[in-house]
């Protein structure tokens, strides 16, 4: 009986808009609204982030995704007609309906099936899981995952007091970004490159810890800042600690392989959380990259951005094992192992 194919990464790309907004620029804008005025240096001290990338005027999530997707297709040596399935995987979307994947497909000229994969900042990682399952099952041979994030829209500019400012803190480090990955069927031998395994664990009881509420049925037409901006309502680290035993039970072997691998990318919100992740999962710092310090929190594009930066720095070579660790509000944890 022939071996099942393995989903191989033919290309991975990232698009970071050229406009850069420093956290001091953000502080000045907050201070200029007449509400709470954070003192100079406070945002940098609290987050360890220098600044974030900001989209061009009028650019939507689909536009950022399309820019990254076109580069990925070129890198893979493919045309859009070679794609059997297109997934849009991001926290952002252009419209409530239709799925943003349709807008991405229309801009690329794709005629293949499309749909969105949405699970907060684990959207891209779940998109990889979905794509790999289709490829391994023989349903599709080549899948394009596209991601577009517009985090600049979720910052709260008017904070009436320090408490409101601190609840809105995660929104000040979120970047606009695009990312894309082409996965295609390859040999399924033991030593073949590709996606080796994926493991996911959820603690959905912690869904209220971090929310962006506007636009859903709870607050469909609300324009209140509490609903239209990213809001921290609880402790995401506590949500992770609550299910740490389940994570270790479900993905313990993969975590051991991750620590021994050449490179480990994990979702990054700010530098304190970066340090917490190193400690929580006993990750070797020499194999990780604190991309959040320079590029901010790229939401679901965070993992592909780190992969691209690692390849540019020659930290990932053919045959290397790479680990992707995802954390997302909701709360969910994911881990994928890849042989490059």
Q: For 82-105, how does the pLDDT look when each residue is reduced to its tens digit (9 = 90+)?
A: 999 999 999 999 999 999 999 999
Whether residue 256 lies inside any domain: the answer is yes
- Same domain? 236 vs 258: yes
Whether residue 56 lies inside any domain: the answer is yes
- Same domain? 223 vs 335: yes
- On the question of pLDDT at 12 being above 70, the answer is yes
The residues, ordered by sequence, that sit 6+ positions from 307 with a Cβ below 8 Å of its Cβ are 12, 14, 263, 265, 316, 322, 324
* Confidence (pLDDT) at 158: 94
Instruction: For residue 107, give the CATH number of its domain.
Output: 3.40.47.10
Considering the chain, what percentage of its residues have pLDDT values greater than 90? 86
- Same domain? 165 vs 281: no
- Same domain? 167 vs 24: yes
Cα 12 off chain centre by = 13
CA-to-CA distance for 327 and 167, rounded, in angstroms? 19
Q: CA dihedral in degrees (128, 147, 210, 242; nearest 10)?
A: 20
* Confidence (pLDDT) at 269: 95
- On the question of pLDDT at 245 being above 70, the answer is yes
- Same domain? 47 vs 147: yes
Whether residue 284 lies inside any domain: the answer is yes
- On the question of pLDDT at 317 being above 60, the answer is yes
Residues in the chain: 340
What pairing do the DSSP bridges indicate for beta strands 263-266 and 19-22?
unpaired
Considering the chain, what percentage of its residues have pLDDT values greater than 70? 99
Q: How many other C-beta atoms can be found within 10 angstroms of the C-beta atom of residue 28?
A: 13
Find out whether 178 and 201 touch, Cβ atoms under 8 Å. no
Cα 309 off chain centre by = 14
Question: Tens digit of pLDDT for each residue in 23-80?
Answer: 999 999 999 999 999 999 999 999 999 999 999 999 999 999 999 999 999 999 999 9
Whether residue 1 lies inside any domain: the answer is no
Residue that is written with structure tokens 């040999």 in the block: 187
Find out whether 213 and 227 touch, Cβ atoms under 8 Å. yes
- On the question of pLDDT at 1 being above 60, the answer is no
* Confidence (pLDDT) at 31: 94
- Same domain? 31 vs 174: yes
- Same domain? 291 vs 210: yes
CA-to-CA distance for 182 and 142, rounded, in angstroms? 7
Last residue of a domain, one of 149, 170, 186: 186
- On the question of pLDDT at 232 being above 60, the answer is yes
Give the pLDDT band (50/70/90) at residue 282: very high
Closest CA to 318 of 8, 13, 6, 75: 8
Mean pLDDT of 241-265: 92
- Same domain? 24 vs 113: yes
- On the question of pLDDT at 163 being above 90, the answer is yes
* Confidence (pLDDT) at 160: 94
Mean pLDDT of 228-252: 86
Domain extent, residue 132, equals 6-186
- Same domain? 55 vs 181: yes
- Same domain? 162 vs 27: yes
* Confidence (pLDDT) at 130: 98
* Confidence (pLDDT) at 2: 63
* Confidence (pLDDT) at 227: 84
- Same domain? 26 vs 171: yes
- Same domain? 234 vs 115: no
Q: Which residue has the higher pLDDT, 234 or 11?
A: 11
Give the pLDDT band (50/70/90) at residue 181: very high
Whether residue 46 lies inside any domain: the answer is yes
Output the CA angle 209-213-214, nearest 5 degrees: 165
Average pLDDT, the chain: 95
Whether residue 287 lies inside any domain: the answer is yes
Last residue of a domain, one of 127, 153, 186: 186
- Both tokens assigned to 197: 């395994």
- Domains: count for the chain: 2
Beta bridge partners of 183: 9, 143
């Amino acid at each position: 009986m022939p071996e099942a194919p393995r989903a191989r990464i033919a290309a991975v790309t990232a698009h970071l808009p050229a406009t850069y907004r420093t956290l001091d620029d953000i502080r000045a804008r907050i201070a200029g609204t007449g509400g709470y005025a954070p003192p100079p240096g406070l945002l940098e001290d609290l987050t360890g982030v220098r600044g974030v990338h900001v989209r061009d005027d009028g650019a939507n999530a689909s536009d950022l995704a399309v820019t990254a997707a076109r580069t990925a297709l070129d890198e893979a040596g493919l045309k859009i007609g070679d794609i059997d399935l297109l997934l849009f995987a991001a926290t952002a979307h252009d419209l409530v309906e239709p799925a943003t994947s349709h807008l991405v497909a229309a801009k690329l000229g794709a005629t293949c099936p499309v749909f969105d994969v949405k699970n907060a900042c684990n959207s891209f990682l779940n998109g990889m899981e979905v794509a790999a399952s289709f490829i391994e099952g023989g349903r599709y041979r080549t899948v394009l995952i596209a991601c577009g994030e517009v985090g600049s829209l979720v910052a709260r500019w008017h904070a009436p007091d320090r408490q409101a400012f601190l609840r809105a803190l995660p929104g000040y480090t979120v970047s606009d970004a695009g990312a894309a990955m082409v996965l295609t069927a390859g040999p399924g031998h033991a030593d073949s490159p590709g996606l080796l395994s994926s493991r996911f664990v959820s603690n959905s009881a912690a869904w209220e810890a971090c929310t962006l509420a506007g636009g859903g049925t709870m607050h469909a037409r609300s324009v209140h800042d509490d609903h239209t901006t990213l809001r921290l309502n609880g402790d995401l680290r506590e949500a992770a600690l609550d299910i740490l035993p389940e994570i270790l039970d479900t993905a313990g072997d993969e975590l051991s392989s991750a620590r021994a691998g050449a490179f480990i990318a994990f979702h990054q919100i700010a530098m304190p959380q970066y340090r917490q992740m190193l400690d929580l999962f006993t990750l070797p710092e020499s194999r990780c990259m604190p991309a959040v310090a320079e590029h901010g929190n790229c939401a679901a594009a965070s993992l592909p951005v780190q992969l691209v930066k690692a390849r540019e720095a020659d930290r990932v070579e053919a045959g290397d094992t790479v680990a992707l660790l995802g954390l997302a509000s909701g709360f969910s944890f994911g881990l994928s192992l890849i042989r490059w």
